[in-house]
Amino acid sequence: MALKNLKREMAAADVTVEAIADTIKVHRNTAANKIDGVTKITFDEAVAIRDKFFPGIGLEYLYQNE
């Protein structure tokens, strides 16, 4: 399931999939698959993304499934 809140926050903050991929050190397509819910995002990846781009937002909200 796509991570709608993460996508919403990315759009609001103008954060690209490429920036996410760079942060978690994966290919752009891998990051897109994680954001779209095709593959699972690890806890460490979730924290790294939150800490870099969305420090004031809770993990539960950001990564809530549809």
In the prediction, which pLDDT does 66 show? Answer: 64
User: What span, in angstroms and rounded, lies between the C-alpha atoms of 19 and 53?
Assistant: 9
Helix, strand, coil content of the chain in percent (nearest 5): 60, 0, 40
In the prediction, which pLDDT does 5 show? Answer: 95
**Residue percentage of the chain with pLDDT more than 90:** 91
Could you tell me the sign of the dihedral formed by the alpha carbons of 35, 6, 63, 45, in that order? positive
Give the pTM.
0.91
Residue spans of the chain under pLDDT 70: 66
